[in-house]
Amino acid sequence: MENYSMYDNIVVIIPAFNPDSKMIGLVRDLFGAGLRQIVLVDDGSSKECRKYFEAAEEEFGCRVFRNAVNMGKGRALKNGFNYILNEYPDLDGVITADSDGQHTAEDIGRCADLLLEKRDKKVIFLGTRDFDAEGIPARSRFGNKITRIVLNLFCGVDISDTQTGLRGTGGGVLCDILCCIGERYEYEMNMLIEASEKNIALEEFPISTIYIEDNASSHFNPVTDSFKIYQTILKYSFSSLLTTVIDFVLFSILIGSGMKIISATYLSRMCSMIVNFAINKKIVFGVQGGLGRQFLKYGILVAVSGTVSALMVQAMAGYLRMPPLLCKAVVDTLLYFLNYYVQRTFIFIRGGREDGHER
């Protein structure tokens, strides 16, 4: 059985938009390393670039899945994952790799070995680059570090390379990440958050750090794609800011009228919570149904956080002799991060069952 390879039940999926000869080079190297199950997703490439897909199909037997128009990396990966789940029943794992020369066949082979080693585990392997190495484009170094901080603070996901395109996913995990929201680059970020929420392990392994011509071939738009990646957090920040304004205005009025701190805190928060709940449910987290259960859990969160806020503000104002409004600003800033985590994880559940229907 000379054609047999230990990697026959591992599929490499390569999404590509207007690729060049580097994609053929990667396919050739993968085939030589025994990784022969390769699915290429043509994400609406131009006619001039289709020759590379045709060459890979004819020379190496790659399977090509084509989008008629460019739909974004997230949609390309989802289409590829769905195709693989239908066509490969004995799947050990799937590896995603970029077509622009950033990922080597050697690193992809290491990822395949890890998948085989833990084929029965719920895990996603992430090929991580060294962003402190020389020659890293400034926008890549800065963008990754900022995203790493944000992802850790808001979602509890602590990884060193948040934007890596080299990922190995066990066959048993593929259905979970297939349902993640996002059509473009934000999909890869949501995949990490979804894995964390569903107790899917994220394990990193080092790979070569390769940037060709200052990453000029990347189709990542720093403005529009960054907004898509951070949009949930940005919308939550706007919602929290609006709620805070309402809360502070009412709190100030009530304190000015002579009401005690505890009573003023509860009353102002009760009024602002209705606005915040409606915005977070419909706009921030985009969850349908489950109104009664969600509102009950949200009410408990508000009651608990309101009590903590009131007691801490009262203690700081009494013992530290600080103005109540300044104390409230400090305390509520600290509670901001905790409230986001609780709402995302336990109240407005993404990708789970809330009212008997899958999202």
Q: Which uninterrupted H or E stretch holds 95?
A: strand 93-96
Q: Which domains does the chain have, with CATH numbers?
A: 10-220 (3.90.550.10), 230-347 (no CATH)
The token pair at 221 is: 């738009």
Kindly state the helix (H) or strand (E) to which residue 128 belongs, with its residue range. strand 123-128
Distance CA 319, CA 51 (A): 74
CB 55 within 8 A of CB 24: yes
Whole-number Å distance between alpha carbons of 54 and 322:
71
Say if strands 167-170 and 123-128 run parallel, antiparallel, or are unpaired.
antiparallel
Q: SS3 for 188?
A: helix
User: Can you give the pTM of this predicted structure?
Assistant: 0.69
Element at 170 (helix H, strand E): strand 167-170
pLDDT at 232: 66
Per-residue pLDDT for the chain (359 aa), expressed as one digit of tens each?
356 678 989 999 999 999 999 999 999 999 999 999 999 999 999 999 999 999 999 999 999 999 999 898 999 999 999 999 999 888 899 999 999 888 999 999 999 999 999 887 899 999 998 877 776 777 677 777 777 777 777 667 888 888 888 999 988 888 888 888 788 878 888 888 888 878 899 999 999 887 655 444 454 554 555 566 667 677 777 887 888 788 889 988 998 898 888 888 888 878 888 888 888 887 777 676 778 888 899 889 888 888 888 899 889 888 888 888 888 888 888 888 788 778 877 888 654 444 433 33
Strand order in the sheet with 201-206: 63-67, 38-43, 10-16, 93-96, 167-170, 123-128, 201-206
Partners of residue 63 on adjacent β-strands = 39
pLDDT at residue 278, as a whole number: 84
Residue type, 206: P
**3-class DSSP assignment, residue 3:** coil
Q: Which two tokens stand for residue 199?
A: 């107790």
Report the candidate in 105, 99, 52 with the shortest Cα–Cα distance to residue 76. 99
Rounded distance between C-alpha atoms, residue 87 and residue 77, angstroms: 15
What local confidence, expressed as pLDDT, does residue 357 receive?
Answer: 37
Q: Please give the angle made by the CA atoms of 144, 148 and 150, to the nearest 5 degrees.
A: 120
Look-up: residue for tokens 């921030």?
A: 284
Cα 146 to Cα 156: distance, rounded to the nearest angstrom: 14
Burial classification of residue 189, based on how many CB atoms lie within 10 Å of its CB (0-12 exposed, 13-18 middle, 19 or more buried):
buried
Q: What DSSP string describes 26-45?
A: HHHHHHHTT---EEEEEES-
